[in-house]
Amino acid sequence: ATMPPLLSAIANAGRHGVLVKSAVVMERLGQVDTVALDKTGTLTEGTPRVTDIRPLAGSDLSEDALLALAAAAEHPSEHPLARAVVDAARTRGLDIPEVRDFDSAPGTGVTATVDGAAVAVGAPARLLDGATDTHSAEAAALAEELENDGRTTVLVVREGVPVGILGVADRLRPDAAATVTALKALTGTAPMLVTGDNPRAAARLAAEAGIGDVRAGLLPQDKVAAVREQESAGRKTLVVGDGVNDAPALAAAHTGIAMGRAGSDLALETADAVIVRDELATVPKVIALSRAARRLVV
């Protein structure tokens, strides 16, 4: 017997490096008319590097001490930024202290107890939350300076007091711009960028990728709201993401695709399809495969 078109399309998608979880998903992929792309790990390679280590003037910390403190708190996290911080500390040969009470807030950062001190590491805009004391003001100014250079920034807070900022840079995937162009051609609409990162770094990267519609500073539920806004305008949205913070949007979307290589388990489980070969350019390919199969089904 010849294989039904949707099943051959699944096999074909597999050869392109995309695991499509069912025939229903294979069919739905071709209906998509709007695409929302996550930034870190989706549009970027997801292997960010620490580029700047800036203890605040008012702190007693050296660069190494600041980095070791941040690395300790980040050690249990699977977030790409956490891996960047831990790798930087290891590269410098630093001792990374054990932590207790680790917790993470998707889209915001992490908290832990390091050497008896409460430490928070995460998005400056969220952790500072408009505070105007001298340490907070110094941290906010430093973060803004680095963000204007396109950096993602991470604030380190010890016992409630900001002590330093780390700058992190990630590269655009080599196939990002071509993927954006292909998605525009297939769906008739330019894809949008949905990210928890700061608006300055997001705008810089979006421009490199050819994306004009940028939604930055989003919490996981804000990504869901962006999807719902499209759906209530009658659009069928494909979300592509990798993080724990993307899981609610992957679930809310008409169709969700997760980046497999560095994607979080939650994103992989929640998504309808998984990119196994780590090429973003497979997204327009599977949409085209779905459409071709649907023509054969009807």
Q: Which is nearer to ligand ADP, 25 or 262 (CB)?
A: 262
Q: Which is nearer to Mg ion, 147 or 242 (CB)?
A: 242
Q: Which amino acid is at 72?
A: A
Of the candidates 25, 66, 123, 226, which one interacts with ligand ADP according to CB under 6 A? 123
Q: What is the DSSP letter of 153?
A: E
Asked if residue 211 binds ligand ADP (CB under 6 A), the reply is: no
**Residues 6 or more apart in contact with residue 32 via CB below 8 angstroms:** 187, 236, 237, 238, 254, 255, 287
3-state DSSP assignment of residue 234 = coil
Per CB under 5 A, residues contacting Mg ion are 38, 40-41, 242-243
**Alpha-carbon distance 96 to 290, whole Å?**
48
Q: What minimum distance in Å lies between the beta carbon of 12 and ligand ADP?
A: 29
**78, 106, 168, 172, 266 from 244: Cα distances, Å:** 9, 6, 20, 20, 6
- 40 sits near ligand ADP (criterion: CB under 6 A): yes
> What positions carry a catalytic annotation?
38
Piece of the chain touching ligand ADP by CB under 6 A; list 9-17, 121-129, 169-177, 286-294: 121-129
User: Of 69 and 289, which has the nearer Cβ to ligand ADP?
Assistant: 69
Q: CA–CA separation, 207 vs 176, rounded Å?
A: 11
Q: Of ligand ADP, Mg ion, none, which one sits near residue 82, judging by CB under 5 to 8 A according to partner kind?
A: ligand ADP
Query: Closest approach of Cβ 227 to ligand ADP, in Å?
Result: 14
- Kindly calculate the radius of gyration of the chain based on its CA atoms and give it in whole angstroms: 20
- Residue closest to Mg ion, measured at CB: 243
Binding track, positions 212-241, relative to ligand ADP; x by CB under 6 A:
------------------------------
b/e burial code for range 123-136 (CB count within 10 A of at least 16 → b): bbbbbbeeeeeebb
Contact between 121 and ligand ADP per CB under 6 A? yes
Q: Which residue has the tokens 């403190």?
A: 69
Check residue 151 for interaction with ligand ADP (CB under 6 A). Answer: no
Q: Cβ of residue 268: shortest distance to ligand ADP, in angstroms?
A: 15
CA–CA separation, 181 and 298 (whole Å): 28
Looking at beta carbons, which residue is closest to ligand ADP? Answer: 196
Block residue for tokens 């003001």: 137
Helix, strand, coil share of the chain (percent; to 5): 45, 25, 30
Could you say which residues in the range 252-271 bind ligand ADP, by CB under 6 A? none
Question: How far is residue 280 CA from its own chain's centroid?
Answer: 14
The residues binding ligand ADP (CB under 6 A) are 38-41, 74, 77, 79, 81-82, 107-110, 121-123, 152, 154, 195-197, 243, 245
